[in-house]
Amino acid sequence: MSDPRPAEPRETSGATTGLLLGYVRQHGGDAAVAEVLRRAGSTHTAEELSHPSSWTSYDTRIRLFAAATEVLGDPDTMFRVGREALSSGMNPALVLVVRAMGSPRQVFRRLPPAVAKFSTTSTMEILDAGAASATIRFTLHPGYVHSRLDCLYVQGLVGMVPTIFGLPPAEVVHEECQSDGHPACLYHLTWARRLRLGTRRRDRRAADPELQALREQLRTLQTAATELVASDDLGTVLQRIVVRAAEAVLAPAHLLAVADPAGGRPLVHSAGLPEDAVPGLAARLLAGEDLGPDVVAVDVASARRRHGRLAALYAPGVGLLGDEAAMLAAYAGHAAAALDLLMVRDSARLEADRAGRLLALAHELAGATDAAAVCRVVADALPRVVGCDSASMLLWDPAGAALHTAATVGLSPRAREHLLATSLRAEDVPELVGMITDREPRFLGTTSSPVVRDLLDVLGVSEGVAVPISAGRTFLGVATASWPAGRAPASLAGDILARLRGVGDQAATALQRARLLETVRHQATHDVLTGLPNRGLFLDLLGGALAATGPDGHVGVLFCDLDRFKAVNDTHGHAAGDELLRQVAARLRAAVRPGDSVGRLSGDEFAVLLPELSRPEDADRVVARVLGCFEDTFRLDGVEVAVGTSVGVAVHSGEWGSGEALLRRADEAMYRHKHVGRQGPEAFDG
């Protein structure tokens, strides 16, 4: 049934209105949200306005802003909505993308494309972006009446950016406003480059928004998998794919085109596109044409079949903030798995048991967040789904060109131990080479290659089926189902092969999702430039080392600050500065002992964790090796550059203090070394 409400211009993303309503709910409850909608005369529900796929007009946006300000009775409401965006429901994907940029300056330099993800009525220009300041021009397009409330919201939002990196909000000076007749709003921002010593205790809390975004991203991915495979109507699934895509990648428009399983005309669903433009774009999308730099397009494909394509469309010249294609592809993988399952179910209604068991597996896989857990779930499910006596999951190691067993069930302890210790190299197993080449299953038995026959004998297996697991062109591994002599079905083709393929498709999607999540987790805990643990992870490692140290043990921390780093940036450029930091990280890794940990805290500050010291004096030997890292010059763009370091040492003895306190003491020792004297690194023992 079509929506009787008149369509509004798609000028304001649901990410913005959802942020507003989240703030109102947080400070006034559901009753306040209902009153805001009533005063604004909204025909949309709070749920609709909070979904990223919902777009409304600029006028609706301003009415909601005005109503929220009245209901909460605070003239600075819209400023606070922007300033408190992290705690009021900012899109988790955007938080992670912004955090991965590394610094507020990098965010402000790439901020203009983000505006088109939330509004099509304004243009942002970055006039200047430095290490601790920025100047922004924000212009409302002609034909719209400027609102001071919108201006307050933008001030709060841009001022919030440093908080994503654990810094205080930026100070915003706004002396030119379009509401006063100026051609544009001009914002001058300044922020702290790093926290002072007294505020470092709050660093772990400052990381909470990023960790919360990671948890929300994980929850969304799991919910999408469960929701899609739970649908039994093709039209509903296709519509949900478009809705979920809007959560994955914020864009003004989305388009999905898939082939009709019945052989009819392509099935097309879209959001934000003029109706007359949809058929032509859908045809080009399905044909695999390049729709231009302002379109992110991915295949909706599983290891079994290519269903169609999914695209997010931006206004010309907007560009991308991060790796939107990877996240969109993750959702397209869920969509492909759901479409596979639905088509199998529609083509064989009598196979309700098979469909039910595959659906149960999908629910189990939705909770598996790493590759090892995915393999355990799949191996455990194969006997139930396929009816085999034993099963295994083997993962492909591209570096060694071999398969390694990740999980197995149904074998004797001795056979299981043997299989887990066996590597199947492609050069020795023709069946493996065949699966990598054509992605087709292989039946295992007396006609198999010698290596496979010998393995089956050791495992006590007479027959089996091996199905390759792949995502697109990437070969991920193999799932096997096997039987001992006399227990194998008369035919391993047909239903059994279809069931095993269905499990393989689910496994491919789950493994792809697990790898994406592992990448997101790594980005959340490691410095993007050097790959070292960031401050949050370093403090976690330090806390663990302290907890594991007895009363007679010692834990040391070295705090290192580079000397003349600013001169390198000023003289040779920031690219050279980045290369210097990478080289310093490599030298520090090579200098420390096995078991020590090196982290990059911020800027040119590094720290070394010494978890097992027999005596406090043992830290001095590591200090000497660290200082030795800087005796040789660094080669930057063909130029030899001398850079030194100041080192402070703090050693934990006994049961006092916390990780933050120990790191702070090492920092204080480093500053005394840097500013008081150069006779040697200072230490603090306690």
Q: Give the separation between CA 584 and CA 578, rounded to whole angstroms.
A: 10
Of 285-299, 318-332, 601-615, the range with the lowest mean pLDDT is 318-332
Mean pLDDT across the chain, nearest whole number? 82
Calculated CA dihedral for residues 206, 209, 210, 213, nearest 10 degrees: 170
* Residue 149 CB coordination number (10 Å): 21
DSSP 379-426: HHHHHHHH--SEEEEEEEETTTTEEEEEEEESS-HHHHHHHHH-EEET
Give the predicted TM-score (pTM) of the model: 0.43
The predicted model gives 539-563 an average pLDDT of 87
User: 348-522, which class in CATH?
Assistant: alpha beta
pLDDT confidence band for 419 (50 / 70 / 90): very high
Q: Are 441 and 426 in contact (CB under 8 A)?
A: no
Q: Give the separation between CA 668 and CA 106, rounded to whole angstroms.
A: 29
What pLDDT shows up at residue 677? 54
Please give the structure tokens belonging to residue 235: 């039209």
- Equal fold, 12-99+106-202 vs 210-346: no
Q: What's the fold here for domain 12-99+106-202?
A: H-NOX domain (3.90.1520)
Collapsing DSSP states into helix, strand and coil, what is residue 172?
A: strand
Q: Are 333 and 512 in contact (CB under 8 A)?
A: yes
CA-only gyration radius of the chain, Å: 29
Please give the structure tokens belonging to residue 464: 């089996």
Positive/negative CA dihedral, 373, 374, 379, 383: positive
pLDDT at 200 over 80: no
Q: Residue ranges per domain, the chain?
A: 12-99+106-202, 210-346, 348-522, 535-685
Please give the structure tokens belonging to residue 24: 């109102």
Report the DSSP pairing between strands 55-56 and 12-13.
antiparallel
Q: Are 52 and 250 in contact (CB under 8 A)?
A: yes
Instruction: Give Dmax (Cα) for the chain.
Output: 88
pLDDT at 588 over 90: yes
pLDDT at 358 over 90: no
Q: Does 210-346 carry CATH code 3.30.450.40? A: yes
Q: How far is CA 644 from CA 91, 434, 574, 677, 681, in A?
A: 42, 56, 18, 14, 12
The contacts of residue 342 (CB under 8 Å, 6+ apart) are 231, 232, 234, 237
Q: Are 581 and 591 in contact (CB under 8 A)?
A: no
What pLDDT shows up at residue 403? 92
Q: How far is CA 429 from CA 212, 285, 404, 455, 470, in A?
A: 46, 39, 13, 11, 18
User: 535-685, which class in CATH?
Assistant: alpha beta
Tell me the range of 197-206, 264-273, 415-424 where mean pLDDT is highest.
Answer: 415-424
pLDDT at 40 over 90: yes
Digit-coded pLDDT (tens) for 81-104: 888 876 665 655 556 556 655 678
For 479, phi then psi, to 5°, come to -110, 135
Question: In which residue are the tokens 């699966």 written?
Answer: 435
Collapsing DSSP states into helix, strand and coil, what is residue 343?
A: helix
Q: How far is CA 28 from CA 14, 45, 49, 86, 194, in A?
A: 20, 17, 17, 18, 34
Digit-coded pLDDT (tens) for 1-16: 445 556 778 888 888 8
What pLDDT shows up at residue 350? 38
Collapsing DSSP states into helix, strand and coil, what is residue 118?
A: coil
Segment (H or E) for 585:
helix 574-591
Tell me the range of 223-227, 399-403, 548-552 where mean pLDDT is highest.
Answer: 399-403
Q: Residue 435's Cα: distance from chain center in Å?
A: 31
Angle at 449 between CA 445 and CA 450, to 5 degrees: 100
Q: Give the separation between CA 558 and CA 564, rounded to whole angstroms.
A: 19
The predicted model gives 658-665 an average pLDDT of 87
